[in-house]
Amino acid sequence: MKLILAITGASGAGYAARLIRQLVAAGVEVHLIVSPLGRRLLHDELGMKEVDLKVLGGRRHTITLHPYNDCGALPASGSFLHQGMVICPCSSNTLGQVAGGLGDNLICRAAAVTIKERRKLILVHREMPLSPIDVNNYKTLSDAGVILAPANPGFYLNPASIDQLYDFVAGKVMDLLGVDHPLPTRWEPEGGKTRRLPDKETRR
């Protein structure tokens, strides 16, 4: 399975890191694109001076990093077969560019191609509150078949750590992609109460 994953400059680097690690663990071939502000995000929130594929995916990772400004790279072509694209986190700037059909960088070009080829595109938008422009862009993208999956973790599993919030969002995206994972996302009522997951269950 091949997937394109893009990181842009919206707060939430932990979501991207958890998602990448789980995709690699599931045997997915990840084609990664990081915007300039996405690189700053990785630096500010994860302490990465450069995009470190071994940190993101492990030593035996299956990640290919593509240059942000190379619109001739593989993900820019409809002939590059893949099973979907995720932008996580997705900034409002990127949201607007994708909604407008712009293609002057590899992230937007790959997203435009994913839409035209009728492949799955998931945007993990990370912004609150939404501006009227964001709302209109949501409508435009939804009408085009894009899945809007804002980074809104659920609390019905009674998360006890930030890591568990990352797990929830990453797990929901994995569900949308149809990739098996061990992350806790399921509603499992027991006697009318939600189940608290111990940390060890989320760190497999």
Q: Does the CA dihedral 138-141-144-145 come out positive or negative?
A: negative
Instruction: Provide the pairing of β-strand 121-125 with 147-148.
Output: parallel
> Which CATH superfamily, name and number, covers 2-202?
Flavin prenyltransferase-like (3.40.50.1950)
CA pair distance 148, 122, nearest whole angstrom: 6
Cβ within 8 Å of residue 122, ≥6 positions away = 84, 85, 86, 87, 88, 146, 147, 149, 173, 176, 177
Distances in Å between the Cα of 12 and the Cα atoms of 8, 107, 166 are 10, 18, 9
At 179, list the tokens: 């990739």
DSSP 160: -
Strand order across the beta sheet in which 121-125 lies: 63-66, 29-34, 2-7, 85-90, 121-125, 147-148
Dist CA 23 CA 179 (whole Å): 8
Tokens of 44: 């500010």
- State pLDDT tens for residues 67-84: 999 999 999 999 999 999
Residue pair 119/84 in contact (Cβ under 8 Å)? The answer is: yes
Q: Please check whether residue 82 is in contact with residue 2, taking contact to mean a CB–CB distance below 8 angstroms.
A: yes
**φ, ψ for residue 113, nearest 5 deg:** -65, -40
pLDDT tens digits for range 15-30: 999 999 999 999 999 9
Distance, CA of 51 to CA of 38 (rounded, Å) = 10
Report the distance separating Cα 93 and Cα 105, nearest Å. Answer: 13
What is the pTM (predicted TM-score) of this model?
A: 0.91
User: Can you give the pLDDT of all 204 residues of the chain as single tens digits?
Assistant: 999 999 999 999 999 999 999 999 999 999 999 999 999 999 999 999 999 999 999 988 999 999 999 999 999 999 999 999 999 999 999 999 999 999 999 999 999 999 999 999 999 999 999 999 999 999 999 999 999 999 999 998 889 999 999 999 999 999 999 999 999 888 877 644 445 545 554 444
